[in-house]
Amino acid sequence: MRTFSAKSLALLLCLLLRSHASAQTPFSGTPAIEQSLNKLTVLGSVLMIAAHPDDENTAILAYYARGRHMRTAYLSLTRGEGGQNLIGPEQGDLLGLIRSQELLAARRIDGAEQFFTRAIDFGYSKTPEETFEKWGRERILSDVVWVIRRFRPDVVILRFSGTPRDGHGHHQVSAILGKEAFFAAADRSRFPEQLKYVEPWKARRLLFNTFSFTRDQEKEAAAVPGRIEVDTGAFNPVLGVSYSQIAGMSRSMHRSQGMGVSQRPGPTRQFLVPVAGDPPSKDAFDGIDTSWDRVPGGADIGRILEEAVRTFVPDHPERTIPLLVKAHPLIAALHDPWAVAKLRELNEAVALCAGLWLDADADTYAVVPGGTLDINYTALNRSQFPLALDSLTLEGMGSDSRTGAHHAALEPNQPVNAHLKFTVPAGEPYSQPFWLREPKHGDTYTISDQRLIGLPEDPPLLALHFAIEAGGVSLDLVRPVRHRYIDRVEGEQERALVVVPRVALNLPQDVVLFPNGSARKVEIEVSAQVPKVSGDVRLALDSGWSADPVSRAFSQAEAGLEQPLTFDVKPAPGPDPPAWLRGVARVGDREIGVGMQVISHPPLPPLTVFPPAVVKLVRANVQVTAHKVGYVMGAGDEMPDAIRQLGCAVTLLTPSDLEQRDLSEFDVIVTGVRAYNTRADLRANLPRLLDYVRNGGTLIDQYNVTDRNLVPMGPYPFTVSHARVSVEEAPVAFTNLGNPLLSKPNEITQKDFEGWVQERGLYFASEWDPKYQTVLESHDPGEKPLAGGMLYTRYGKGVYIFSGYSWFRQLPAGVAGAYRLFANMLSAK
């Protein structure tokens, strides 16, 4: 085996580990020290692989990380962009950003690390073939190989089998690629470009963490030879909980998917079956040396650190420091990836034992390129062990400079603090998450810097290295520079630094529909991020389109102010392919073409993104006869804005509206996605809605999932099923040409089914009363035609429509044909 260049290795691990520097666990004091001392003695690692946030077996992660003190990680192929969001309107990229943070929050509890590939969750996929086609098999395989080579697991655990039994194509692919990567990671000839940074890695064994949905499957699983068992219900007396309980807390962090679960104590049997490598007999780590003996020259270190564990006194953690300090130079002298990781853990263990508080607090969280930060740093030794602050080094934003710090003794409980100034380079880019910086490559992210691939989030923009002297050795302790502030309700809060533009251009809409040839007003909001900023904004348009005026000036005295600028945009003649409008602000000699959005879902940290100031312009011929639309928002969707684009007035209906308001003022009432699943008031007022239809109204129900909350919808019975059409290009047949939905007022043609995104539809009806007419038929390749995606019936003087076609995706994406068909639904009489 080749030896590592200590420098390149240190660089890589630094990138890897820095993002966890601020990780706070729910465990502090003695449990935290016990965890960290024990972990120092264990040199074993395990990587779990699956497809989505929430696929991971958190109990297994917690058991290995917190119980066995292994370096433990979860590789999720995707960030979960394609799912539904239960806590807000964010979809796609933004939902992926939220889920990434939810996973990190979960990992802080279960003690594991988190990785991702470049794959995007594009929605439900029925087959691995479709998934491979969208992602590119080699591309995602290379990422799994990269994470294995970088993390160097002894044991790899697959969450899925790689067969149709897993269901979702992404699930199958995670296991197929996991198996392939297990071998490819060890092969120098595979992905040799990665060897600039990492060495090939041969994990010892590959296991499959089985799951059984039925009794038969459980019987079958029990018969698999070589199956081993893990009891994640085992109690950890130091932490005061079992690993399954930790898993319950961790899993409840998946708030956007509503994964809140109980923390049930007691035994929980989990099973692992061998897939490749040498099979275990009883334990996943059978035959793997997870002690310091596995590193040449490590035996002495192991003895010292075991003594540290053995002699640890909770009342006097500082008494453990001399042993840690004794091990420090021995570890530092080793040339092994384990040494880099363990040295960092050891430094943090000393900090825990000394109650050492290190902080780097900037005067603001948002700074512009060329701006300055005033950083207040503090070092506080809360023990009797003699420590000193030797030097400080700022790292990040092009800086790697030692600051003018002085040697200062850290007297017990006496803070040492001072200020330092930092000027952000003029060319510093805005802090867009690294995977969103470059245009996507189909359903994968483009990430040019190989070293960033796999990371869950950006490393901190700026970090302060404290060189702390303890017992004659210098410990490098890194803290991200953050902004700390007091919220009168929430108490002390902190925010990560972000580099922001001087002004942000926010466009209230992603899509502007031009239902005919007339000009429409487009508004751009200029939001100042610094005081005293002025300039002008112009619209860059595709040829044939024009804006009046060409540009508008703005001037703002204070940061945080917003100024709306309105332009009349006139479309190119004739329905063309969608065009694009780009907003460009000029401030001094700088051009700015981005907006800024802060996503706030406490307790997750606020997340800042800089979407390009771009709007899709859709020129379509759409007529609609409905004027007043009532909308019953369900799980959250962007349909009300989309319907307003058609020129309708949309009112969001509240529980009291549903109960008391005279609904006859509405031409049509639309229920949002999963409205019957999520709103008890809607379920309770179904009879009023049916009366509304009987008296001449139109009611449109979108998809709802089959769950215990779902009541029978519509005036006549029909059954909602799991049937879906997940291929967005799947042909759609018109089976009922006489139905008004296909002709009034817009004549629907096959062209209207072009350019759809993500899927055709989901949770179609499987059986229905003969009083319903079906209108369309569609199906995934090789499957039976599904007619239950659109049901239509007249009831009394009105019309009822159920549709599982995914309007909530198509309309916000600006699919012209979907607008035309939905306009017909709104206009149905």
* Region near Zn ion per CB under 5 A, out of 47-55, 96-104, 290-298, 504-512: 47-55
Rounded Cα distance between 59 and 246, Å, is: 7
Shortest Å, Cβ 827 to Zn ion: 39
# residues near Zn ion by CB under 5 A: 2
Q: Which is nearer to Zn ion, 55 or 130 (by Cβ)? A: 55
Shortest Å, Cβ 29 to Zn ion: 36
Q: Which is nearer to Zn ion, 59 or 352 (by Cβ)? A: 59
Convert 196-232 to b/e letters by CB count within 10 Å (16 or more is b): ebbbbbebbbbbbbbbeeeeeeeeeeeeeeebbebbb
Q: Which is nearer to Zn ion, 75 or 394 (by Cβ)? A: 75
CA dist 114 → 32, 57, 171, 213, 403 (Å): 20, 13, 18, 27, 33
Q: Which is nearer to Zn ion, 76 or 252 (by Cβ)? A: 76
* Region near Zn ion per CB under 5 A, out of 33-41, 46-54, 118-126, 178-186: 46-54
* Region near Zn ion per CB under 5 A, out of 25-33, 44-52, 481-489, 500-508: 44-52
What letter represents residue 579's amino acid?
A
Q: Which is nearer to Zn ion, 259 or 686 (by Cβ)? A: 259
Relative to beta strand 732-734, strand 776-778 is: antiparallel
β-pair partners for 236: 241
Q: Distance between alpha carbon 252 and the CA centroid of its chain, in Å?
A: 15
Helix, strand, or coil here: 274?
strand
């909602």: which residue's tokens?
Answer: 720
Does 52 engage in binding with Zn ion (CB under 5 A)? yes
* Region near Zn ion per CB under 5 A, out of 6-14, 55-63, 358-366, 676-684: 55-63
Shortest Å, Cβ 253 to Zn ion: 16
Binding-residue pattern over the window 198 to 237 for Zn ion, x denoting contact by CB under 5 A? ----------------------------------------
Convert 745-777 to b/e letters by CB count within 10 Å (16 or more is b): ebebeeebbebbbbbbbbbbbeebeeebbbbbb
What DSSP string describes 609-672?
A: E--BSEEEEEE--------EEEEE--S--SHHHHHHHTT-EEEEPPHHHHHHS-GGG-SEEEEP
Q: Name the residue among 62, 59, 102, 48 with its Cα closest to residue 79.
A: 102
Shortest Å, Cβ 254 to Zn ion: 11
* Region near Zn ion per CB under 5 A, out of 28-36, 49-57, 362-370, 501-509: 49-57
Q: Which is nearer to Zn ion, 55 or 113 (by Cβ)? A: 55
Shortest Å, Cβ 173 to Zn ion: 11
Q: Which is nearer to Zn ion, 9 or 50 (by Cβ)? A: 50
Q: Which is nearer to Zn ion, 257 or 824 (by Cβ)? A: 257
Find the length of the chain.
829
Binding-residue pattern over the window 320 to 359 for Zn ion, x denoting contact by CB under 5 A? ----------------------------------------
Shortest Å, Cβ 51 to Zn ion: 5
* Region near Zn ion per CB under 5 A, out of 53-61, 63-71, 114-122, 810-818: 53-61
Shortest Å, Cβ 172 to Zn ion: 11
Handedness of CA 409, 411, 417, 422 (dihedral sign): positive
Which two tokens mark 740? 């008004």
* Region near Zn ion per CB under 5 A, out of 48-56, 141-149, 219-227, 475-483: 48-56
* Region near Zn ion per CB under 5 A, out of 45-53, 252-260, 302-310, 439-447: 45-53
Q: Are the C-beta atoms of residues 763 and 735 closer than 8 Å to each other?
A: no
What letter represents residue 811's amino acid?
L
β-pair partners for 466: 392, 477
Rounded Cα distance between 562 and 614, Å, is: 18
Shortest Å, Cβ 759 to Zn ion: 16
Shortest Å, Cβ 702 to Zn ion: 23
Shortest Å, Cβ 141 to Zn ion: 19
Q: Which is nearer to Zn ion, 55 or 667 (by Cβ)? A: 55
Q: Which is nearer to Zn ion, 159 or 479 (by Cβ)? A: 159
What DSSP string describes 226-242?
A: T-EEEETT-EETTTTEE
Q: Could you say which of 34, 55, 318, 348 contacts Zn ion (CB under 5 A)?
A: 55
All residues at 6 or more sequence positions from 430 whose CB lies less than 8 Å from its CB, including other chains: 498, 499, 500, 501, 594, 610
Q: Which is nearer to Zn ion, 55 or 336 (by Cβ)? A: 55
Shortest Å, Cβ 122 to Zn ion: 13
Q: Are the C-beta atoms of residues 72 and 45 closer than 8 Å to each other?
A: yes
The continuous run of DSSP H or E covering 732 comes out as strand 732-734
Q: Which is nearer to Zn ion, 67 or 80 (by Cβ)? A: 80
Residues 232-291 within binding reach of Zn ion (CB under 5 A): none
Helix, strand, or coil here: 789?
coil
* Region near Zn ion per CB under 5 A, out of 50-58, 510-518, 532-540, 780-788: 50-58
Q: Which is nearer to Zn ion, 76 or 270 (by Cβ)? A: 76
By the criterion CB under 5 A, which residues form the site for Zn ion?
52, 55
